[in-house]
Structure 1
Amino acid sequence: MVKATEHNSQAWDQKVKEGSPYTRAVSSETIQHAKSGNWEIGVTADKRVPREWFPRSLKGKKILCLASGGGQQGPVLAAAGAEVTVVDISKEQLKKDEAVAERDELVLTTMVGEMADLSMFPDGSFDMIIHPVSNVFVEDVRPVWKEASRVLKDQGILISGFMNPVLFLFDDEKEQQGILDVKYSIPYSSLEQEGAQEGQTLEFGHTLEDQIQGQTDAGFVLTGFYEDDFGGGRTVDQYMKTMIATKAVKLSIQEW
């Protein structure tokens, strides 16, 4: 089987060509509002991140948009005054950010890279990391948290969106018929199922312990939390919310 990262890179390139909602760049109107100080972003399907999770001003703040290509979060934050770097495994997703930057005269940096390997950045490079739902595409999430902690400054902020693993319990075909039939266990791995079809992503349902305790083990303290629907007509959304967003602050050893 092709390495998950390589497979998912190609799959996301394909999603761009198909016009997936997560590949649709923000409008010029959204960017103009952001330049005027009226901005918002999301890291899950529907809800917007509370503005109080951010500093009052983003002017000069160094922000890493991690696995966040698609011309959505990065350009908005750049328009709001931040120094933005977008890292993603999909070149086509990064082209979306580059296109918005050119269209609306923004300055941002794009880099092809894996979320679990940020070796291109020195320790303490960023004030904030914005990490929308994407660690579902890596086999092991804990290295993502460790690398995020390493490249953040002390008191740096990590805002993340991720899946509640309950989403991966059910038979997909039956759920589309409105039937919740438990078929899988958590942690979930696409690699343990039948081979993924071309254009489909390999996905991994991480335990909540790895998602939340994994952040604290990496040196973070959680200071914000909310849940959101997955969207797209999922049957399970009728019974519970299946996306989670957290705000975490990196603390030095002395502050512990």
Structure 2
Amino acid sequence: MYGLNKERKKEMSQTTEHNSKAWDKKVEDGVRYTQSVTHEAIKKARSGEWSVGVTADRQVPRSWFPESLKGMKILCLASGGGQQGPVLAAAGADVTVFDLSEKQLQQDERVAEQEGLELKTVKGDMTDLSAFADETFDLIVHPVANVFIENVRPVWKEAARVLKDKGTLISGFMNPVLYLFDADKEDEGKLEVAHTIPYSALEEEEVIEGETLEFGHTLEDQLQGQTDAGFVIAGIYEDDFGGGRTIDHHIKTMLATRAVKLKV
């Protein structure tokens, strides 16, 4: 795995396993990011009226997608939960949903069965897309998820590998400034600097069963990491939690990028 030693690989696999179980629990608890799209949303997507998000509040600009998705091979990367995948499938795409959580994938499978949609689900770690051959997909939709892995650059490398030439990667991710502040203090309406960036829950907090481990990556790894992997960034916007957090009143803490793979 990109030259990591055996001990580091083991740590990463343990983090992935922990977060897999934590996301399964989130499904059981019915948290926001595990709630599938409605029948009405699928009905509209079939008629050509659709949108998806890769951050918390804003929808991806329709101009970031081709006019028609019919026949396009799309990978919904770390995107389980019955949200993006079923909508894109209803719009005519050949969709594969890839996620580390079995129960999140079951949400996609349930919507597909209820709505008569064709889509595939694959369980795995977003840093390892060896289940797919080179240049398999036309488009990747990758909502905010790399916050749950320790090293983001392998994600960009693998995304570039499995995308066709001039394929598009639409991804959402956290502005690392979010992780500067004490979370408990923020809940009280106070912003108190308590951490450094890059941030690692493994170093800062006790590992709690059922709660996700999060990592605040540098913007260099998020943005330059994409260009180093062979992408040209063609679009960007910012987002937040819709005003639901104290920090939302001071800065946007999420970004989304549209990146195009160019062979050199």
TM over 0.5: yes
The equivalent of 2:49 in structure 1 is: 38
Offset of 1:3 from its aligned partner? Answer: 1.1
1:131 aligns with 2:128: no
Aligned partner of 2:198 among 171, 187, 191: 187
Alpha-carbon distance between aligned partners in 2 of 1:215 and 1:230, rounded to the nearest angstrom? 24
The equivalent of 1:249 in structure 2 is: 260
Q: SS state of the match for residue 63, structure 2?
A: helix
Mapping for residues 111-190 of structure 1, pairs under 5 Å: 111-190=122-201
Q: SS state of the match for residue 3, structure 1?
A: helix
The equivalent of 1:200 in structure 2 is: 211
Offset of 1:195 from its aligned partner? Answer: 2.0
Alpha-carbon distance between aligned partners in 2 of 1:252 and 1:92, rounded to the nearest angstrom? 37
For normalisation by structure 1, the TM-score amounts to 0.97
Q: SS state of the match for residue 143, structure 1?
A: helix
The equivalent of 1:16 in structure 2 is: 27
The equivalent of 1:70 in structure 2 is: 81
Offset of 1:196 from its aligned partner? Answer: 2.2
Whether the aligned pair in 1 keeps the contact of 2:243 and 2:249 (CA below 8 Å) is no
Equivalenced residue count is: 253
Task: Report Cα offsets for 1:184-231 as digits up to 9, x if no partner.
Answer: 000000000232212110000000000000000000000010000124
Q: CA-atom RMSD, angstroms?
A: 1.0
Alpha-carbon distance between aligned partners in 2 of 1:8 and 1:226, rounded to the nearest angstrom? 27
Offset of 1:232 from its aligned partner? Answer: 6.6
Alpha-carbon distance between aligned partners in 1 of 2:253 and 2:182, rounded to the nearest angstrom? 16
Which residue type is aligned with residue 159 of structure 1?
Answer: I
Offset of 1:234 from its aligned partner? Answer: 1.3
Whether the aligned pair in 1 keeps the contact of 2:27 and 2:103 (CA below 8 Å) is yes
1:209 aligns with 2:231: no
Q: SS state of the match for residue 236, structure 2?
A: strand
Structure 2: gaps spanning 5 or more residues: 1-10
Alpha-carbon distance between aligned partners in 2 of 1:114 and 1:132, rounded to the nearest angstrom? 14
Alpha-carbon distance between aligned partners in 1 of 2:174 and 2:228, rounded to the nearest angstrom? 19
For normalisation by structure 2, the TM-score amounts to 0.94
**Deviating runs (4+, > 3 A) in structure 1?**
none
Alpha-carbon distance between aligned partners in 1 of 2:179 and 2:245, rounded to the nearest angstrom? 12
Alpha-carbon distance between aligned partners in 2 of 1:63 and 1:151, rounded to the nearest angstrom? 11
Mapping for residues 55-94 of structure 1, pairs under 5 Å: 55-94=66-105
Q: For residues 198 and 232 of structure 1, do their structure 2 counterparts lie closer, same or farther at Cα, with a shift above 3 Å needed? A: farther
Alpha-carbon distance between aligned partners in 1 of 2:50 and 2:192, rounded to the nearest angstrom? 41
Which residue type is aligned with residue 193 of structure 2?
Answer: V
